[in-house]
Amino acid sequence: MRSYSLAAPAKINLYLEIIGDRPDGYHELAMVLQSIDLADKIELRSLSTDTIRLRCAHPQVPKDRTNLAYQAAALMAAEFPDSFAQFGGIEIIIDKRIPIAAGLAGGSTDAAAVLVGLDLLWQLGLTQSQLEELASQLGSDVPFCIAGGTAIATGRGEMLSPLPSVDNLFVVLGKYRHLDISTAWAYQTYRASFGNSYVTSKQDLKSRAAAVHSSSMVQAIIHEDPHQIGQRLHNDLERVVIPAYPQILQLKETFQQAGCLGAMMSGSGSTVFALCDSQKQAQLVQQQARDLAPSKELDLFLARFTSSGIQVLSSTRD
Ligand code: ATP
């Protein structure tokens, strides 16, 4: 029986704009997403039963059907019942390295890894767009996590346009260990606070979202200009998260004082990242942040931009 080991990288949002409400009840978004090399490791193998089993040593990760990786396996079993019957059940082992409920798409990237891994394990030969279509049924960030890299995401986040990869940029990620922010809460609070200024016509929603393609953030990426990227970081969700969680603003200010190119909350938080144009600068920012905010609760990680999404680390036949 074959097994696969896969790397599932986290993402950060370099840009996140909320345009309005879509007819399907989701928000219309305009985002620029970036993969980073902080990654979970996912092991996938067939079982000689007809069940889906999930193991993860991290106490906060659900091991049942609520786990997005479990849902990815269940979706594949439903879509490809012949393969599920032929290859048997599925065991998923998650080595969790991405902080949880942190705005880093930890659950989404695990789900993307299960889709990619089962495509290989069951020898389905799915295309990237078929995998992304399946991914969009699981969550808004899952399609991006398949191919990763640097991309514009519009719609709910599932309409992707790849951008040239930005090499040699680093981030320091800061997260207060017990500060978890619910994505659903952040978007609902945003709607309650700013819904009256939403774009409403279907036509305007699409054209406002499409404007991100010619935005100054995208220009900065195309021109490989780290300083402009640092200047153009933007996240609408800070408007509701910062008033409720002042630690987020303190952490941004700490990173800015430490001398990075720019600092921003990722997704719905609670991670704040500091953009740096060398590993040395990132190490200095990490050290300075440690000195300026000497809280035992603050976890700091150093990561690098990567052009990779889900990657096979190894495969074995036993
Ligand atoms: P996003 O950036 O996509 O909104 P996030 O990074 O903020 O996501 P996750 O780490 O995915 O958040 O965790 C959000 C919640 O999802 C957790 O509290 C957890 O209960 C649940 N969850 C489901 N599957 C997973 C998984 N594989 N890994 C981590 N959390 C998971």
Regarding the beta carbon of 251 and ligand 1, being less than 6 Å apart is answered no
Q: Please state, as a whole number, how many other Cβ atoms lie within 10 Å of the Cβ of residue 127.
A: 9
Does ligand 1 lie within 6 Å of residue 183's CB atom?
yes
pLDDT in the model for residue 295 = 83
11 flagged as catalytic: yes
Collect all residues with Cβ–Cβ distance below 8 Å to 130 and sequence separation of at least 6.
none
Q: Which residue of the set 40, 110, 119, 141 is catalytic?
A: 141
Residues forming beta bridges with residue 312, ordered by sequence position: 6
Q: Rounded distance, CA 221 to CA 265, Å?
A: 19
- The residue contributing the CA closest to ligand 1 atom 18 is 101
Identify the sign of the CA torsion 179, 18, 305, 169. negative
Catalytic residue among 11, 175, 236, 252: 11
Q: Give the per-residue pLDDT at 285.
A: 97
Nearest to 272 by CA among 232, 243, 307, 300: 300
pLDDT at position 23: 85
Q: Which residue has the tokens 């699409």?
A: 206
40 CB within 6 A, ligand 1: no
Distance in angstroms (rounded) separating the CA atoms of residues 97 and 117: 19
Active site residue 280: no
Q: How confident is the model at residue 49, as a pLDDT?
A: 84
Q: What is the pLDDT along the chain (318 residues), one digit of tens a residue?
A: 789 999 999 999 999 999 999 888 889 999 999 999 999 999 999 988 889 999 999 999 999 999 999 999 999 999 999 999 998 899 999 999 999 989 999 999 999 999 999 999 999 999 999 999 999 999 999 999 999 999 999 999 999 999 999 888 999 999 999 998 999 999 999 999 999 999 888 888 888 888 999 999 999 999 999 999 999 999 999 999 999 999 999 999 999 999 999 999 999 999 999 999 999 999 999 999 999 877 889 999 999 999 999 999 999 987
Which pairs from 54-63 meet CB under 8 Å and 24+ separation? Answer: 54/91, 54/92, 54/93, 54/94, 55/91, 55/92, 55/93, 55/94, 56/93, 56/94, 56/95, 56/96, 57/95, 57/96, 58/94, 58/96, 58/100, 60/100, 61/94, 61/96, 61/100
302 bridge partner residues: 172
Report the alpha-carbon distance of residue 234 to residue 217 in Å, rounded: 9
Q: What is the pTM of this model?
A: 0.95
Instruction: Report d(CA 141, CA 16) in Å as an integer.
Output: 12
